[in-house]
Amino acid sequence: MKLEARGISVDVPAGWDANIYQRPDPFARLELRRLEQVSAEETRHVVAHIATFPLPEGRGDYGGGAVELMGPDDALIVIFEYHPDSTATALFSSDQLPWPLHPNDFDPNQMQRPLPGQGGVQRFFQAGGRAFCLYVAIGGMSNRTTVIPIVNEILETVNIVA
């Protein structure tokens, strides 16, 4: 199934769960109130979640509330958009898509909140003039050589436009 919304598309395999949503930036809204010059388009923060397991309602942008549900063969892919001004910073200087990922890229210390046996990887980049973070969490570091190739297959289908 192809999931497409807000300038991001991805092919989602059968049995996986996915969602693309938009959450306004509270800091940009404050700026909007102060300057009244920031457009709604400039305040968007698009988040894509693609997971091997059912995504719970009320999860955090980086998977809080979801990663706790992962089994050893599970994965959660997060593509998080930052404010457009971020493209001018060194952190988002790469215009190369940060995949494919490799098993050695994953580390338990890369998790937003370390959980036993889990690992993660985080990469910052820009695409289509937009700033993003790719964050991938896996449920079992011991299974990363079988899980990560599947994650890479999905990442290869991601398309981002301005």
Reported as a single tens digit per residue, the pLDDT across 75-119 is: 999 999 998 889 999 999 999 999 999 999 999 999 888 899 999
Residue type (1 letter), 63: G
Cα dihedral value 146, 150, 153, 159, nearest 10: -130
pLDDT in tens, 111-156: 888 899 999 999 999 999 999 999 999 999 999 999 999 999 999 9
The two structure tokens encoding residue 148: 């990560």
pLDDT at 13: 96
Buried b (16+ CB within 10 A) or exposed e, 73-112: ebbbbbbbbbbbebbeeeebeeeebbbebebebbeeebbb
Instruction: Look up residue 152 and give its DSSP letter.
Output: H
Domain span at residue 156?
2-160
How many domains is the chain built from? 1
CB 51 within 8 A of CB 76: yes
Neighbours of 58 (CB within 10 A): 7
